[in-house]
Structure 1
Amino acid sequence: MMTMGILPTVPRQRRRRVRRNRHHLLHHHGRSNTAVFPVPATLPLKIDIKMVSHKVKEKRKDFVKQKLKVGKTKPKATAHTELGFKAKAIGLPSQSITKVHLPKDVFAHYLSLTRHHSPIARREALAYLNSHLPAPTDIDASLFSALAPLILDPAPSVRSTLLTFFSSIPQASMAPHMQIIVMCIRSGLTHLQEDVRRDAAKFLSLLLKVEDRDVSQQIISRNWTSLLTCFGGIFNWDMSSLNEKTNSTTPNPNTRKFTHAAPLSSLKNSTGHITALSQFLKLGLSSQCSGDSSTLHTVSFYHTDTAKHMMPTNSAAAYSRLNLFSIPKAAAAEDICTRFEKIKPIYSQIIVTLDSGRREGGEVGRPCKHLLDFLEGVKKNIETSSTG
């Protein structure tokens, strides 16, 4: 019988197990001086039940869903960060409600949005720039440097908005920056996407229709051979003979080598390309863009006093010995005879392409018929003048 106050003894089976383990340790280690950890015969069984249950509850607390009660504040999470602060004043020196933004700064901001990744933002920026275009004297090269690459924009809405924008820019302001625009048009005419090539022809037609002769003079004289090469890539002309004729040292990667011109029926948007080609050839091979110095001095550029600083009219090649304003000979084409000589190697292919379009009739046939008659007349005039 167990009395109160005395701990219960260890069960008999456990005592036997402890005694057996002690015998095993003595048998293997002997009674040497090696330290042997004593094995207690009995274990304390006085366990605090409250402490054990508290630890179990603490472990389970993280996995118990909290019950929310109506009207009670929701308890904060253990990872809650206090964001409140107290301050008498907040100073923002770079921002002000009363600051007035200058129109020039706003215009520069929207000009930077033309390089935005979203086509909607680029289109809206062009619409704002078109409605807030500055005075012609304030238009500089930064505007055309930002707008010209949009000719190659992949979004059709951006290109159509840019076409409307170019039609509203004063021609006198556009003339000094025409070369960078034509360079992007040439890239568009040789683009992989068909819709970009179609819109590039529209941009070229728009620039060739302007009344300012200086614009057409720059396009024709400085880009005659390069634009012919671009049209050759569109209509599948063999341009190798043209490059050899112009003594080009570096071959054009956009040049396509075909033995026969493809018919216009196999070409998408042939009407737009034929219209641009017709305007280009008619301007280049007519007296309206002959490069006469007397017509160039009557052009009013982007400044009213430009005519006072022009070269003297009594000299056809003033300061030519200094070679200050010359362009490469392979690209220069100042008169009608020189331009016609450049298209002689591909003249037969041009005739084949136009004749196939004439046989189709419709919107394509009419401009092809007019261009055929025009080229035949130019050829007869040049042959008559050379023989006479």
Structure 2
Amino acid sequence: MGSSSKKKKEKQKDFVKPKLKVGKTKPKADNHTSTSFKAKAIVVGHQSLNTAAPTVQSQLKHNLTLLNHHAYTTRRDSLAHIASVFSSSPASNPPISYSVLLPALAPLIVDSTAPVRTQLLTLLNSLTKSKDPRQDAIIPVDAIQMHTPRFLLYIHSAMTHISAEIRANSTNFLSWLLDVVGEEAVRGAKGWGKTLKCWIVLLGWEGAKSGQSVRGSTIEFSDPGKNKKASLQHLGVLKQFLSTGILEEEVQLSYFDIKNRSLLLPHQYSDAYMMPKTSNIYGHLNLFGVLAENLSEEDAEGSAEDCDSRRRIMTNVFEGSIRTGLQARLQEGGEVGRAAGAVLKVLDKALKTEDNEMT
């Protein structure tokens, strides 16, 4: 009997709740492991054994890879780093090839976050436009011209993007490209007809030529102020685009320039025997193409080397939609109406010039 009562008391100890007193710590469990020891070694993961600092080229290549990072702050900071490195480097000796840099920057035109697109536009303006007219830009114009089709590809994607914010910022990049390369932006393949097609989609003028109702724009912000600002931006760049493509500049020559020109080019038809400035010098004859009156939007998306061919594409394919859309904007009045009227003046002046040349 004594042994059985002793066993019962030992079993009951496991279920006895200890009484805690104020100021005393709770007793430690039987399976407690002490962690009060201190380590005498520190292990660093991925520790580099190189004593030399990374080169500027390696840092730039690393930042170019970070342009695809999922965090927008990393992409933005990488663009800022690239801008600082190129700004401090001489234009004759770039730290990295332009054929590597420019193709990596173009896809950010359709980036999903506004800070990255803003930083990209700041980078492009600072590297391709010189503040001092006596000095050349950091990135030469020839390098931008070689990658103009790639930039146009992403600009077209931005102009027809599903996001309203990306569409609103798309013409900022088109304006930058027109400022830097000029006529080269509207001369190459997909440069004139494809861009005009994107303009019509962007401004909501698809059904204008067939007599359907004209939408105000594809910009649909909840704030009316943003809609007005985006419309003014689009119409201003459209004026710049049409002026570059179909409006020839009138150069006023001084008396001394005329005398020097007459000495260098004594014959009145000397210009016809000079080296051509475009590749397709007989494109205006349309020897192997479709008739001008039978042009479609697909036919108009090819290259338009000279101003005359761009005017024909405008007259036979896009003029009806653009003119109807501008007339609708003109009736709205205000700043938007004045901007639309300025675009109409450029269009009338360019096409009137074509009519005078034909007669």
The answer on 1:168 being equivalent to 2:121 is no
Contact kept, 8 Å, 2:203 with 2:218, in 1: the verdict is no
Counterpart in 2 of 1:54?
10
Aligned residue among 201, 204, 214 for 1:233? 201
Task: Note closer, same or farther for the CA distance 1:188–1:69 as it changes in structure 2 (3 Å cut).
Answer: same
Q: Quick one: distance in 2 between partners of 1:329 and 1:363?
A: 32
SS at match of 2:3: coil
Distance apart, 1:384 and its partner CA: 2.6
Distance apart, 1:346 and its partner CA: 2.9
Aligned residue among 274, 285, 309 for 1:338? 309
Q: Deviations over 1:244-288 (max 9, x none)?
A: xxxxxxxxxxxxx98243346997221111112111111110336
Contact kept, 8 Å, 1:220 with 1:280, in 2: the verdict is no
Counterpart in 1 of 2:158?
188
Q: Quick one: distance in 1 between partners of 2:353 and 2:62?
A: 54
Distance apart, 1:89 and its partner CA: 9.2
Letter of the 2:164 partner, please give it.
E
Task: Note closer, same or farther for the CA distance 1:180–1:258 as it changes in structure 2 (3 Å cut).
Answer: farther
The within-5 A match list for 1:270-349 is: 270-287=231-248, 313=275, 317=279, 330-344=301-315, 345-349=317-321
Task: Note closer, same or farther for the CA distance 1:68–1:337 as it changes in structure 2 (3 Å cut).
Answer: farther
Q: Quick one: distance in 1 between partners of 2:113 and 2:48?
A: 35
Distance apart, 1:217 and its partner CA: 0.8
Distance apart, 1:177 and its partner CA: 1.8
- The sequence identity of aligned pairs, in percent, is 24
Distance apart, 1:341 and its partner CA: 2.1
Contact kept, 8 Å, 1:107 with 1:129, in 2: the verdict is yes
Q: Quick one: distance in 1 between partners of 2:121 and 2:239?
A: 20
State which drifts further: 159-168 or 359-368. 359-368
Task: Note closer, same or farther for the CA distance 1:75–1:219 as it changes in structure 2 (3 Å cut).
Answer: farther
Task: Note closer, same or farther for the CA distance 1:75–1:314 as it changes in structure 2 (3 Å cut).
Answer: same
Distance apart, 1:227 and its partner CA: 0.9
Task: Note closer, same or farther for the CA distance 1:259–1:240 as it changes in structure 2 (3 Å cut).
Answer: closer
Distance apart, 1:85 and its partner CA: 8.2
Q: Quick one: distance in 1 between partners of 2:170 and 2:97?
A: 23
Q: Deviations over 1:34-92 (max 9, x none)?
A: xxxxxxxxxxx56333333333324x48x76988977x899588374869686789798
The within-5 A match list for 1:25-174 is: 45=1, 47-58=3-14, 60=15, 75=28, 78=31, 80=33, 94-96=47-49, 98-133=51-86, 135-136=90-91, 137=94, 138-169=96-127, 170-172=139-141, 173-174=143-144
Q: Quick one: distance in 1 between partners of 2:55 and 2:156?
A: 36
Q: Deviations over 1:176-210 (max 9, x none)?
A: 22222221111111112222111111111121122
The within-5 A match list for 1:240-255 is: none
Counterpart in 2 of 1:251?
none
SS at match of 1:132: helix
Counterpart in 2 of 1:383?
355
Q: Quick one: distance in 1 between partners of 2:278 and 2:320?
A: 35
Counterpart in 2 of 1:358?
330
Contact kept, 8 Å, 1:224 with 1:339, in 2: the verdict is yes
- Pairwise CA RMSD of aligned residues? 3.9
Q: Deviations over 1:140-182 (max 9, x none)?
A: 3332333222222222222111111110122423222222222
Q: Quick one: distance in 1 between partners of 2:331 and 2:276?
A: 50
TM-score, normalising length from structure 1? 0.62
Give unmatched runs, 5+ long, in structure 2: 128-138, 221-226, 250-273, 283-298
Contact kept, 8 Å, 2:300 with 2:313, in 1: the verdict is no
Task: Note closer, same or farther for the CA distance 1:73–1:382 as it changes in structure 2 (3 Å cut).
Answer: same
Contact kept, 8 Å, 2:145 with 2:184, in 1: the verdict is no
Counterpart in 2 of 1:373?
345
Task: Note closer, same or farther for the CA distance 1:225–1:161 as it changes in structure 2 (3 Å cut).
Answer: same
Higher Cα radius of gyration? 1
Distance apart, 1:221 and its partner CA: 2.9
Task: Note closer, same or farther for the CA distance 1:104–1:266 as it changes in structure 2 (3 Å cut).
Answer: closer
Contact kept, 8 Å, 2:66 with 2:75, in 1: the verdict is yes
TM-score, normalising length from structure 2? 0.67
Contact kept, 8 Å, 2:204 with 2:216, in 1: the verdict is no
Q: Quick one: distance in 1 between partners of 2:57 and 2:150?
A: 23
